[in-house]
């Protein structure tokens, strides 16, 4: 069995405790590797390495074009390890091999994108008086701690790390204990790119131990977190105690409104990727469809046929459509939600149960006649379960879609662009997809309303959250 270590200050570090975290393949349930479990000692080492590198100003004082060149080198080396890293990610996460390799290539693209913005981070001059020259400077926070989730473990590293690096921060990444192995392949790319030691450190430990200690560490100046609302609130409390900023992207319960004139093939394609892709383990999953009464039966029939056509299997099989969920605990949770929906009056138009085979597979599930008071309509399931709700009037659809504590994503399906624009303006969500779920890129801002978090990742807007503004006023007398 392959053994992996933490990457701290440019070196592979074994945990002082000798404790190990075993990682399994969700498609079989069999152990595929283990990683040294970071405890307080390793967190201290990582934070100290990051602090030392930041205080040395090796990245802060690096000529901007040299920083951009280094980021492009990271992108180049990441592409070189995409196949190796993607295969490992496929096995530890369960997702499709194509999607896993794409994560590494996406990270490379993200580093290329932000490399092109390093010389666009400009301050400004402010007119005060003829005897005062006043200007602003954008500066990094210092040591930035990133706690990343297991559903897109490499993409989430790239999304925040590229911004942190482009703005001159030193970074510690705490990977999820369910999917820590592929990050070590990314660390190989960092070594090959000759990133100075200490600027990027990658550790793996349990969230309630290493994660909690990291975000509360006295020498951490900035925190990035993607995960559940409950954990996010704990992290925000920890950051508030130290009065440091945090970027948080939390849960979602995204609804797509389907108007009578919608192209139902667009809805089906969005369902394939938006709720059944990655087994529905997506923060912005299209977990609710709010469908006009006149077309609901037709759409449900089509969704059932789609569900029947999906090939269930391991992600390493390129012909697989529906991959496993991440763990036995997650499978039990997802199946429990589906069961509760049926018990509360929803109809299982298709699925609703686990698949009787090795691994952690859940049937693609379409729950019809769901109402907003049901648990499946209100809580994030994080599995391949789609709830169908009915409406008659346009305003009613908006009310149903917005009737949630979350506000990460939403969507609308219609051929009427005026209606699409009106609907987008009334939906309470950080991103609205029109006729295609996930109609965005690394250049488009991403973040939530309400309890889905705040600040923005991706795009130019993301950089603002990794920088602080210094004002300088000079007397010319």
Residues labelled catalytic? 249, 283
CA dihedral sign of residues 425, 430, 431, 432: negative
Convert 27-61 to b/e letters by CB count within 10 Å (16 or more is b): bbeeeebbbbbbbeebbbbbbbbbbebbeeebbbe
Q: Give the span between the Cα atoms of 245 and 229, in whole angstroms.
A: 17
Nearest Cα residue to 250 out of 467, 49, 451: 451
Element (H, E) at 140: strand 132-140
**How many CB atoms lie under 10 A from the CB of residue 297?**
12
Query: Quick check: 109 and 79 in contact, CB under 8 A?
Result: no
Q: What secondary structure does DSSP assign to 1-66, as a single string? A: -EEE-EEETTEEE--TT--EEEEE-TTT--EEEEEEPP-HHHHHHHHHHHHHHHHTTTTTSS-HHH
C-beta of residue 32 within 8 angstroms of C-beta of residue 212: no
Residue 328: C-alpha distances to residues 25, 28, 29, 229 (Å): 11, 11, 8, 22
Containing 154, the helix (H) or strand (E) segment is: helix 153-166
CA distance 133 to 184: 48
Write the CB contacts of 175 (distance below 8 Å, at least 6 apart in sequence).
Answer: 148, 153, 157, 183, 202, 203, 204
| Residue 99 dihedral angles phi and psi, to the nearest 5° | -65, -35
Sheet holding 125-129, edge to edge: 125-129, 132-140, 467-475
Token pair of 462, please? 């993301």
Q: What's the CA gap between 67 and 424, in Å, rounded?
A: 38
């Amino acid at each position: 069995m392959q053994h992996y270590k933490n990457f701290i200050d440019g070196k592979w570090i074994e945990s002082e405790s000798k404790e190990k975290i075993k990682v399994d393949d969700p498609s079989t349930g069999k152990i595929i590797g283990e990683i040294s479990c970071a405890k307080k000692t390793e967190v201290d080492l990582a934070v100290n390495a990051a602090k030392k590198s930041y205080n040395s100003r090796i990245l802060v004082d690096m000529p901007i074009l040299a920083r951009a060149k280094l980021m492009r080198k990271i992108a180049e080396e990441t592409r070189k390890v995409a196949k190796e890293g993607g295969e490992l990610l496929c096995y530890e996460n369960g997702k499709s091999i194509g999607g896993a390799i794409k994560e590494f290539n996406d990270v490379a693209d993200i580093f290329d994108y932000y490399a092109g913005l390093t010389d666009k981070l400009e301050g400004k001059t402010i007119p005060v008086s003829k005897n005062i020259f006043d200007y602003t400077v954008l500066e990094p926070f210092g040591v930035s701690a990133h706690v990343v989730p297991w559903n897109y473990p490499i993409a989430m590293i790239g999304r925040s790390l590229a911004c942190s690096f482009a703005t001159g921060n030193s970074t510690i990444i705490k990977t999820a204990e369910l999917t820590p192995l592929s990050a070590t392949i990314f660390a190989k790319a960092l070594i090959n790119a000759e990133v100075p030691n200490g600027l990027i450190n990658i550790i793996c430990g349990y969230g309630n131990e290493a994660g909690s200690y990291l975000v509360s560490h006295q020498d951490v100046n900035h925190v990035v977190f993607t995960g559940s609302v409950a954990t996010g609130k704990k992290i925000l409390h920890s950051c508030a105690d130290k009065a440091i900023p945090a970027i948080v992207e939390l849960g979602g319960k995204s609804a797509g409104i389907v108007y009578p004139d919608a192209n139902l093939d667009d809805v089906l394609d969005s369902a394939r990727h938006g709720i059944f892709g990655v087994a529905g383990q997506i923060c912005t999953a299209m977990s609710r469809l709010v469908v006009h009464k006149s077309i609901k039966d037709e759409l449900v029939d089509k969704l059932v046929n789609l569900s029947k056509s999906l090939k269930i299997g391991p992600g390493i099989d390129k012909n697989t459509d529906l991959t496993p969920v991440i763990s036995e605990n997650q499978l039990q949770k997802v199946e429990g939600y589906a069961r509760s929906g049926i018990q509360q009056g929803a109809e299982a138009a298709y699925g609703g149960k686990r698949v009787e085979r090795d691994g952690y597979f859940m049937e693609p599930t379409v729950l019809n006649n769901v109402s907003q008071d049901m648990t499946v309509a209100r809580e994030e399931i994080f599995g391949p379960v789609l709830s169908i709700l009915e409406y008659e009037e346009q305003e009613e659809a908006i009310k149903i879609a917005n009737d949630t504590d979350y506000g990460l994503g939403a969507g609308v399906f219609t051929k009427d662009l005026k209606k699409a624009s009106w609907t987008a303006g009334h939906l309470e969500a950080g991103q609205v997809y029109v006729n295609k779920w996930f109609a965005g890129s690394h250049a488009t801002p991403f973040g939530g309303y309400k309890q889905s978090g705040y600040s923005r990742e991706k795009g130019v807007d993301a950089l603002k959250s990794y920088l602080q503004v210094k004002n300088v006023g000079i007397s010319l007398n």
